């Protein structure tokens, strides 16, 4: 009788659970039994592991073989257990010393020829192993850069099972040629932008990245983008087709500061689980941009799928931008599903297989036409929509959802003079990004020692009691509250925007002009405010 054990990691949402892989050999009819709540792809590992072991030059044991995955109560899915199962079997067969395997975590899929292929979720898996106290991890060679992001863990990259056997038995390590193109994005969330790269939305990086200097006119909308980036406030652009709503939204990621180390790890973990990390970029250091089509289902937007849920667009946009173009064309129930993550910064998904909590702190940008034909209220065009059609169209954006949107801007068509002017003098994104960075640093100093980093995160009670605006600055906001034009949540959001405007202008606290401008940006009603402190 032979027994060996090693470890692997089961992913539950975007978090990992260390799983002990045990192999037991007993006399009897040759059979291979896998227990411990495996899913279909994990059950099929029996055939992959057997073929990989034989094709790696090792003998397959002709005995009764039982492989157990403990804890048995945790559902396990995917092919990432293959490498650990093969090592445990070889340890039970005494091809590898079982004592060597006990303190190693192994993650990787095996091909029938014994090659080790990458799997989703390497980063959160290695993080879980480090949190559990393990110091040695074996991963596919192509996943070493991603696994090495976790400090305090020794990472061994292997290209084949033959190499792993040689390393663990102190034999000469054979050379293995890499297989070209063995890393591919997971097609499960096809249609969403590739995080950090903007593929699927027309966005590119580097010198060809979208720049605000290319936007003609739209001074109010440009100012709203700057405020949104500085305080992480949600934005709604309403205007006719061709006015520049999408063009403006695509330039918002370029105004956001680079992610901190902790934020980068959180974003990378989500994208790793989704299988959407671009090859050669193991760490996402720029805010992601996600723009799903308006036909997206609720599962693709907030997360879901068969078995254990997987990250949706709101999680892929964590610490980045979620742009919903043609927002009124989304199903109303899909849009209303955003209300909870907009407030809490995470999404809780309950399924028969379990309840998962996934991060979803994103900056939302909505864009919609004023009516189904898009010409309502535009000069020179006659709207052909019936009043009832316009009412139904606008009702798809529910009141509770819109109450969570801080900035609501009407994007007017660009005048001929502005569009055809050769030298507009419009500010580039880099200049605006510098002001955004300075405003965020000013807010961070104010929140030093507190759990918040941007104005949009501060609870309303704390904002009203801990930090005070200038005397008399809230007169018009209080009148709107008394008249029912503002809700209590709306007043708190006006205060948050006012503090962001003060941060951009370098003031220690908001003035009456800041509050009135925040009211204008929320309601669209003129309050006599001017865009001071924000360069035109």
The answer to whether residue 198 scores a pLDDT higher than 60 is no
Cα–Cα separations (whole angstroms), residue 239 to 242, 368, 409: 8, 7, 9
Phi, psi of 332 (to 5 degrees): -60, -35
Mean pLDDT of the chain: 87
How far apart are the C-alpha atoms of 261 and 247, rounded to whole Å? Answer: 29
Segment 192-208 shows an average pLDDT of 42
DSSP 37: S
Contact 443, 449 (CB under 8 A): no
pLDDT-derived band at 307 (thresholds 50, 70, 90) equals low
How far apart are the C-alpha atoms of 522 and 498, rounded to whole Å? Answer: 11
Three-state secondary structure call for residue 316: helix
Strand segments, DSSP code E, in 326-430 are 346-351, 354-359, 363-368, 407-410
pLDDT digits (tens, 9 = 90+) for 247-289: 999 999 999 999 999 999 999 999 988 888 876 778 888 999 9
List of residues 6+ apart from 92 with CB closer than 8 A: 2, 3, 4, 23, 24, 25, 61, 65, 98
pTM over 0.75: yes
Contact 338, 401 (CB under 8 A): yes
DSSP H or E run through 429: helix 429-446
What is the predicted pLDDT for the residue at 187? 40
What is the predicted pLDDT for the residue at 180? 52
């Amino acid at each position: 009788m032979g027994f060996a054990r090693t470890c692997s990691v089961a992913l539950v949402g975007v978090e990992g659970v260390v799983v002990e892989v045990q192999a037991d050999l007993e006399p009897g009819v040759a059979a291979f039994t896998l227990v411990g709540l495996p899913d279909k792809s994990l059950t099929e590992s029996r055939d992959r592991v057997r073929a990989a072991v034989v094709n790696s030059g090792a003998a397959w044991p002709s005995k009764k073989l039982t492989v157990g995955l403990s804890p048995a109560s945790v559902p396990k899915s995917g092919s990432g257990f293959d490498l650990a199962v093969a090592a445990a079997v070889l340890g039970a067969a005494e091809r590898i010393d079982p004592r060597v395997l006990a303190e190693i975590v192994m993650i990787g899929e095996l091909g029938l020829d014994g090659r080790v292929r990458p799997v989703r979720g390497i980063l959160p898996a290695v993080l879980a192993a480090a949190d559990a106290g393990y110091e040695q991890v074996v991963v596919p060679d192509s996943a070493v850069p991603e696994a090495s992001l976790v400090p305090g863990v020794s990472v061994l990259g292997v290209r084949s099972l033959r190499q792993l056997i040689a390393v663990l038995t102190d034999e000469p390590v054979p050379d293995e040629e890499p297989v070209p193109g063995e890393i591919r994005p997971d097609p499960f969330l096809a249609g969403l932008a590739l995080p950090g790269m903007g593929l699927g939305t027309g966005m590119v990086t580097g010198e060809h990245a979208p720049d605000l200097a290319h936007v003609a006119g739209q001074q109010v909308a440009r100012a709203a983008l700057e405020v949104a980036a500085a305080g992480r406030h949600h934005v709604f652009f309403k205007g006719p087709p061709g006015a520049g709503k999408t063009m403006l939204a695509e330039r918002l990621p370029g105004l956001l500061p680079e992610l901190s180390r902790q934020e980068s790890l959180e974003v990378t973990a989500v994208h790793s689980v989704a299988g959407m990390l671009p090859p050669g970029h193991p760490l996402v250091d720029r805010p992601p941009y996600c723009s799903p089509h308006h036909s997206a289902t609720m599962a693709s937007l907030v997360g879901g799928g068969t078995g254990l849920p997987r990250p949706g667009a709101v999680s892929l946009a964590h610490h980045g931008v979620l742009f919903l173009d043609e927002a009124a064309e989304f199903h109303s129930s899909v849009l209303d599903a955003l209300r909870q993550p907009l407030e809490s910064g995470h999404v809780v998904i309950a399924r028969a297989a379990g309840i998962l909590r996934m991060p979803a702190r994103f900056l939302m940008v909505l864009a919609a036409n004023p009516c189904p034909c898009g010409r309502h209220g535009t000069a020179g065009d006659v709207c052909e929509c019936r009043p009832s059609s316009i009412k139904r169209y606008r009702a798809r954006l529910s009141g509770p959802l819109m109450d969570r949107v801080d900035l609501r801007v009407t994007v007017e068509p660009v005048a001929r003079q502005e569009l055809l002017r050769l030298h507009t003098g419009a500010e580039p994104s880099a200049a605006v990004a510098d002001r955004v960075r300075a405003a965020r640093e000013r807010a961070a100093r104010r929140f030093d020692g507190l759990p918040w980093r941007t104005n949009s995160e501060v609870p309303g009670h704390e904002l009203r009691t801990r930090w005070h605006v200038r005397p008399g600055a809230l007169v018009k906001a209080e009148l709107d509250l008394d008249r029912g034009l503002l809700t209590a949540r709306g007043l708190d959001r006006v205060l948050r925007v006012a503090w962001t405007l003060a941060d951009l202008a370098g003031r220690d606290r908001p003035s009456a002009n800041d509050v009135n401008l925040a009211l204008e940006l929320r309601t669209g009603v003129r309050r006599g405010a001017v865009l001071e402190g924000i360069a035109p």
